Amino acid sequence: MTSDPMLWLLQANDTAYPSGSYAHSFGMEELVECGVIATPADLEAFLEKQILPALLTFEIPFFARAHAASNKCDAAALLEMDEELDAWRIPHELRDASRRIGSQRLELLCQLDPSPFILAHREACPRSHHLIVTSLELAAVPLAKAARAFAFQSIAGLAAASMKLMRIGQTSCQLITRRTLVRLGEKIDSALSEPPDGWFNPLLEIASLRHARANHRLFIS
Amino acid sequence: MSICSSNWSAGFIPREPADRHDESSYPGIHPALPVSGSALSGHLDLRCELRADGVPVIARQSFRAPIHLSKSHVDEGRLVQSIVNPTAGFFDGDRLEMNVEVGGGAKLVLSTPSASRVYRTRSGGSAVCVQHFRVEGNAMLEWIPEPFIPHAGASYVQRTRIDLEPSASLLYFDWISPGRVAMGEVFAYQRLRWELDLTLGGRLIARERYDLAPGNESLEALRVKFPAAHYLSVYAAGGMAENWPARELDALTGVGVYLGHGPLAGGVNVIRALCCDSLSARRLLETIRPLLYGAAGVKPPSLGRIFC
């Protein structure tokens, strides 16, 4: 791996990095299908009012814990957090999507950075959650930057999926992404020091549960 | 503690004497908590066991206001017990601790005869309900309360822990209404805090933590679909999750109902639903319950009330 953590961060967060996340919409496909997200304005509201709060209250604080464990090479803590994530992610498809992406990234990481700790983690938990693997990938990157990269992956993934699901142009999509990231940037540092807490989103849970049983679909999740 | 084991006749489970609920009879279990101001600290400690003749009975009970137990009955091999809140609802500062155990092989249905209400907080503090359900091997628990109705300005915290042994069965319902809609109170409460942990054989299967407050985006997911959405959640485990009626559940989504269901780890299943109003939620509940019981090959026990 490059000795420059920032260059490694750019590589791991590049759209060409084969994580497989392009095949997932994380429940958004069903929300488009049922008419909840129909316009660019709906998409922006969805990202602002449903995705960002979940990132800030749960995902980013949880990522901060995992990042600390990765830096301490605390294998037991990472495995415990990985199992706990299953309990937080109620829809099977969201658990599975997270583990699919995580395992793909972990496999690649083992090729790119075959450190004993990372290889041992793959041995213990080859289908790790995306969040856990990202904390391993970016352990050398300062937490504030690593968390931004993790959050960016989530938002960019949904924005990319939206272009396949609805009538929205690239520029419009980038503008929405930009504004969403500005909102994220205002709050992410304070989220890093908060304990992880849940976020109520039965709509997205139902959408994901329904997507898993849909007769036709474009995305895996 | 005593086992209600004698003088049993069909359909009637004998109760302990009227003063049985005085926790002073149970030194060390529930220290007497004084009633301070207008707030109440109450508890329910309940254990259901299977008697030698195969009938489920209340083996242990202790309760104190704001809670009360009504008479139980046996139906379809299950002990049906209603929990009454005689003060008609929670006020800020009220605290209720519930500890419910279902012993090996016993089957218990816990219900409430009317909606649970939380009134406007006067002090700014919350009412708190901490409930712990433990279901032992081959036992079954159904928890099916009437809807939870938070009044305008209400503040409430509910912490639930459900521990299942691997062969235990569960049917656990939650129904959160947006408030007193007919009074114009839609999501007018101050704050609801909901926490739930479900474990199976010691393994954490589901974890929920959330704050609901009208002043932030926490209600967005409810309002986007229906402006006065009722939220239903169901966890089913063991025998109640086998032969899962997936197609029938899929068919329940329609005008006024948006429903999803799926598996958790350990053979536990979950149902989530948003309903446009209380009538839709009521109809859905009255459809789901017999559907799940029917799939398990059991007739749903009567709750002894008008609904379900």
pLDDT tens digits, one per residue of B3-21? 333 333 333 333 333 333 3
**pLDDT > 80? residue A32:** yes
How is residue A57 written in tokens? 């209250």
Q: What is the DSSP letter of A48?
A: I
Other Cβ atoms within 10 Å of A71 Cβ, number: 14
How far apart are the C-alpha atoms of A82 and A99, rounded to whole Å? 10
Peptide bond into B66 cis (omega under 30): yes
Indicate yes or no: CB of A83 within 8 angstroms of CB of B205.
no
Q: Say what percent of chain A tops pLDDT 90.
A: 95
The answer to whether B45 touches B30, Cβ cutoff 8 Å, is yes
Length reported for chain A: 221
In a mutagenesis test of the A interface, which of B207, B269, B275 is the best target, namely the one with the most A β-carbons within 10 Å?
B207
> Could you report the per-residue pLDDT of A66-97, keeping only the tens digit for each?
999 999 999 999 999 999 999 999 999 999 99
Averaged pLDDT, B26-39: 49
Three-class SS of residue A36?
Answer: coil
Residue A72 is given by DSSP the state T
Interchain contact, A207 vs B218, CB within 8 Å: no
Picking from A89, A129, A206, A221 by the largest number of B CB atoms within 10 A of its own CB, the best residue to mutate is: A206
pLDDT interval class at B65 (50, 70, 90): confident
Cβ pair A87:B205 closer than 8 A? yes
The letter for the amino acid at A102 is G
Q: What is the pTM of this model?
A: 0.91
The Cα B81–Cα B83 span in angstroms is 7
Q: At what angle do helices A143-165 and A170-192 cross, to 10 degrees?
A: 150
pLDDT of the residue at B8: 31
Give pLDDT, residue B126.
95
Q: What is the mean pLDDT of chain A?
A: 96
Is it the case that residue A1 has pLDDT exceeding 80? no
- Out of A98-112, B61-75, B260-274, B276-290, least confident range: B61-75
Could you write out the three-class secondary structure of A123-174? Answer: HHCCCCCHHHHHHHHCCCCCHHHHHHHHHHHHHHHHHHHHHHHCCCCHHHHH
CB contact under 8 A, A208 and B263: no
pLDDT digits (tens, 9 = 90+) for A178-192: 999 999 999 999 999
Residue A65: CB atoms within 10 Å:
17
Asked if A200's CB is within 8 angstroms of B221's CB, the reply is: yes
When mean pLDDT is compared over A2-6, A76-80, B22-26, B180-184, the highest value belongs to A76-80
Residues of A in contact with B197 (CB under 8 A): 87
Would you list the DSSP string of chain B? -----SS-BTTB-PPPPGGGG-GGGSTTTSPPPP-BTTB-EEEEEEEEEE-TTS-EEEEEEEEETT-EE---EEETTEEEEEEE-TTSSB-TT-EEEEEEEE-TT-EEEEE-SS-EEEPBPSSS--EEEEEEEEE-TT-EEEEEPPPEEEPTTBEEEEEEEEEE-TT-EEEEEEEE--S-GGGT-SS--SEEEEEEEEEETTEEEEEEEEEE-TTSGGGHHHHTT-TT-EEEEEEEEGGGTTT--HHHHHTT-BTTEEEEEEE-GGG-EEEEEEESSHHHHHHHHHHHHHHHHHHTT-PPPP-SSS--
Residue B172 C-alpha, separation from nearest chain A C-alpha, in angstroms: 15
B225 contacts on A by Cβ (under 8 Å): 36, 203
Per the CB < 8 Å rule, is B262 touching A197?
no
The yes/no answer to whether this complex scores an ipTM above 0.90 is yes
Instruction: Indicate yes or no: CB of A48 within 8 angstroms of CB of B224.
Output: no
Residue B12, chain A, CB below 8 Å: the answer is no
Residue B240 in contact with residue B294, Cβ under 8 Å?
no
B258 touches chain A (CB under 8 A): yes
Confidence band of B304 (pLDDT split at 50, 70, 90): confident
From A40's Cα to the closest Cα of chain B, the distance in A is: 15
Q: Is B189 on the interface with A (CB under 8 A)?
A: no
Q: Are B193 and B184 in contact (CB under 8 A)?
A: no
Name the residue in chain B with its Cα closest to that of A204. Answer: B221
Do B185 and B157 contact (CB within 8 A), yes or no? no
Query: Max Cα separation, chain B?
Result: 57
User: B 212-241 residues with CB below 8 A of A?
Assistant: 212, 216-222, 224-225, 231, 233
Q: Which chain A residues are Cβ-neighbours of B222 within 8 angstroms? A: 200, 202-203
pLDDT of residue A182: 98
Residues B82-111 have a mean pLDDT of 91
A213–B250 CB contact, under 8 Å: yes
